[in-house]
Amino acid sequence: MQIPAMSLNFAEMAAGAGQSPSGLQQAFFGWIAWALALITTILALLATRWSSRILGGLCILVGLAELVLTAYGIKGTTTWSAVIDGMENMRLGGVLYLFGLVLLIQIGALVLLLQASPLHPSDTKEFSS
Domain span including residue 47: 34-116
Query: What is the per-residue burial (b if ≥16 Cβ within 10 Å, else e) of 43-52?
Result: bbeebeeebe
129: in domain = no
47: in domain = yes
At 127 the pLDDT is 46
Convert the pLDDT of each residue in 71-120 to its tens digit.
888 887 788 888 888 788 788 888 888 898 899 999 999 999 988 766 65
- Is the pLDDT confidence value at 15 over 70? no
At 20 the pLDDT is 67
The model's pTM: 0.71
At 118 the pLDDT is 66
51: in domain = yes
At 72 the pLDDT is 85
